[in-house]
Structure 1
Amino acid sequence: MLDIFLRLKTLIKVSHIHIDSSVFRLHWCITSVILLTFSVIVTTRQYVGNPIDCIHTNDIPDDVFDLYCWIHSTYTIPRALSLHVGREVAHPGVITSAHDNEEERRYVTYYQWVGFTLFFQSVLFYIPRWLWKNWEAGKITALMMDLDVGVVSEVEKKQKKKLLLDYLYDNLKNHNWWAYRYFFCELLALLNVCGQMFLMDRFFNGAFLTFGLEVIAFAERDQEDRLDPMVYVFPRMTKCTFHKFGVSGEVEKHDALCILPLNIVNEKIYIFLWFWLLLLGCLSTLVVIYRLVIIVSPRMRAYLLYIRFRLIKREVVNTLVKKSKMGDWFLFYMLGQNVDSIIFKEVMHELARRLGHQSKDFTDA
């Protein structure tokens, strides 16, 4: 299994140039790789064993019976989950044929699709990043011009600073559309998290949205009274019915108990995903609210520059925010995260001076 993680590690390319926020990176970098890893694990037989093993009569070959039950699904009886194991039922959710009402059966049909669904979810989490990377088109990298390295010759630094200053001054108030597209990608990431929660709830027949809450409640109940929600959603033992023709041409019915060892892995995966997506959704909601505040409040934009780039004077920040638009502020903020702090301070001071900032104690950059 270590080999799998080492290979998937190559998918996480941590760049020293940041063109997005840390919460946004949780979506496309961390969550996408986590889902892809889970997909590989559940589809690799050597790590989880046979996905299904059925106990049945010797009249039917093992491979045939197992394959039939895997393809056509198995079932449990929900009311049998609360019956006493060992006295009333052999296993949770499994009851004798005499008490087996076909209308009460809850068919377990999802397990064939878990690996594919996890892979599809991984792709969905990467789509906002793919959109932003295409829309951003290397702007931050081009404007940096290796100014993230503080130790450069004065001649080279002066030339690159001038190019950056000329671009920022000549294109002032022209970056709103660029910034709004990034904000749209963050909103899309939030919608993706919410949509995936409902997608998995549909996938598990309405049992996923409250899955984490039920697991927490289950841990707090008394041993005698509690019904494990993980056994309900991910049963370990199910039943399967196989029909075939007998030697006289009559239809014969064969019942079997089927062990689903893969569900031991599935339940751990989805309880983790429930809490992880909940956390990711909360963080993404806060980010969207934060972006709305930034859009409507120039004062907040100035305050964020104060606390993030303390080397820049307050009056310089005030001038920059007053003379620019929200998109310019976003570009300044992204450049400040990537360019050397001293060089960035000098660039911002010089830009403010070009925009008309004057002060007795203002030092030329």
Structure 2
Amino acid sequence: RVYHTYYQWVCFVLFFQALAFWAPRFIWKMAEGGLTRNLVLGLNSPLLNGESREASIRLLTEYFTANMHLHNGRFFTYAATETLNLLNVVLQMLMLDRFLGNQFSSYGIEVLKFTEWDEAVRFDPMIKIFPRMTKCDFYNFGASGSIERKDALCLLPINVLNEKIFIFLWFWLYLLAVLSALTLLYRALTIFIPTLRVMALNSHCRLSNSRAIKQVLSKGSIGDWFMLDLLAKNMEASNFKELIVRLKEKFETDADAESLDLLKDKLNLLSEKLSFMEKR
């Protein structure tokens, strides 16, 4: 004899599953604070007039120049939410397996095998977990006041819907688990392989020159790459290409100015040494 009671709690389980899936997105939105939307500055439109486009790109260039190496916190927060996504999927699969009497883990496989079984011996696994007709016990007070037990056949039409919901969830959760694991693998590779960051950013904006992208990324950290990658996904391609060109020129100008200052310092130091030697 198998007792089925979990179907009464399906709606609550689905509600808490939805909250759990929403939590990582909420954490990221709170940490990001709308920064990407504010940095786009209307550059997601290809029809922006020349003056507005020039002003927006100049502001973005000044922002990245002044805030280099300050975006690592957002990158690692995003990576943490991606980890939460994978952890959430795995824990939900384990929870559903426990909720359905350790039958969820093989639910989808059994349903796929069901179609291949012989008509004479096959038994629908969906009906096994979510029966549409079952034996029910009713307890009522009899004429003398004592409790009488009556058994009857009960129809459970809600399980026709429940079985479809959970077979969809089985395939969906396994797909999400695989995609989340691949996403974490990609995130780890971008941390340890800088060349992959150049390739990723170039793939999101093929108009930009890969050499210019490499020069810009060499001046920043992984957090700066992450913010540029978000902008590449949200900006019009020609505008992002112009931003990369401006950043490259800005970094080269700053490097030339720094080299010139260093050369001046060396000349001053040499001059002081020569003056000291002449005095001696």
For residues 207-244 of structure 1, give each alpha carbon's deviation from its aligned partner in whole angstroms, at most 9, with x where no partner exists. 11110011111111111122221111011111122234
Match 1:164 to one of 48, 60, 85: 60
- 1:190 equivalent in alignment to 2:89: no
Aligned partners of 1:218 and 1:227 also within 8 Å: yes
Deviation at 1:356?
Answer: 2.1
Aligned partners of 2:108 and 2:170 also within 8 Å: yes
**CA 1:154–1:242: 2 relative to 1, 3 Å:** closer
- In structure 2, what is the equivalent of residue 345 of structure 1? 241
Match 1:355 to one of 238, 251, 257: 251
- In structure 2, what is the equivalent of residue 110 of structure 1? 6
- For residue 42 of structure 2, give the secondary structure of its aligned residue in structure 1: coil
- In structure 1, what is the equivalent of residue 119 of structure 2? 223
Deviation at 1:203?
Answer: 1.0
For residues 277-321 of structure 1, give each alpha carbon's deviation from its aligned partner in whole angstroms, at most 9, with x where no partner exists. 111111111111111111111011112223332211122012122
- For residue 134 of structure 2, give the secondary structure of its aligned residue in structure 1: strand
1:135-150 matched pairs, under 5 angstroms: 135-150=31-46
For residues 175-226 of structure 1, give each alpha carbon's deviation from its aligned partner in whole angstroms, at most 9, with x where no partner exists. 1111111111111111111111111111111111110011111111111122
Deviation at 1:251?
Answer: 4.3
- In structure 1, what is the equivalent of residue 100 of structure 2? 204
For residues 74-104 of structure 1, give each alpha carbon's deviation from its aligned partner in whole angstroms, at most 9, with x where no partner exists. xxxxxxxxxxxxxxxxxxxxxxxxxxxxxxx
- In structure 1, what is the equivalent of residue 187 of structure 2? 291
Give the letter for the 1:279 counterpart: L
Distance 1:251 1:317 in 2: 81
More helix per residue: 2
Unpaired segments of 5 or more residues in structure 2?
Answer: 255-280
- 1:262 equivalent in alignment to 2:158: yes
Ranges of 4+ aligned residues in structure 1 off by more than 6 Å? none
Aligned partners of 1:316 and 1:357 also within 8 Å: no
Distance 1:195 1:124 in 2: 10
**CA 1:183–1:357: 2 relative to 1, 3 Å:** farther
Match 1:174 to one of 67, 70, 74: 70
- In structure 1, what is the equivalent of residue 28 of structure 2? 132
Aligned partners of 2:132 and 2:156 also within 8 Å: yes
Select the structure of larger CA radius of gyration.
2
Aligned partners of 2:61 and 2:243 also within 8 Å: yes
Distance 2:253 2:168 in 1: 53
Give TM-score scaled by structure 2 length. 0.86
Give the letter for the 1:336 counterpart: A
1:1-365 matched pairs, under 5 angstroms: 105-356=1-252
Deviation at 1:246?
Answer: 3.0
Give the letter for the 1:126 counterpart: W
Aligned partners of 2:73 and 2:223 also within 8 Å: yes
What is the aligned length? 254
- For residue 118 of structure 2, give the secondary structure of its aligned residue in structure 1: coil
Give TM-score scaled by structure 1 length. 0.67
Distance 2:144 2:183 in 1: 70
For residues 110-151 of structure 1, give each alpha carbon's deviation from its aligned partner in whole angstroms, at most 9, with x where no partner exists. 122111111111111111111111111010111111111222
- For residue 220 of structure 1, give the secondary structure of its aligned residue in structure 2: coil
Distance 2:189 2:139 in 1: 64
- In structure 2, what is the equivalent of residue 50 of structure 1? none
Give the letter for the 1:330 counterpart: F
Report the identity percentage. Answer: 42
Aligned partners of 2:205 and 2:240 also within 8 Å: no
Give the letter for the 1:143 counterpart: L
CA RMSD, Structure 1 to Structure 2 (Å) = 1.6
More deviation, 241-250/115-124: 241-250
**CA 1:260–1:167: 2 relative to 1, 3 Å:** same
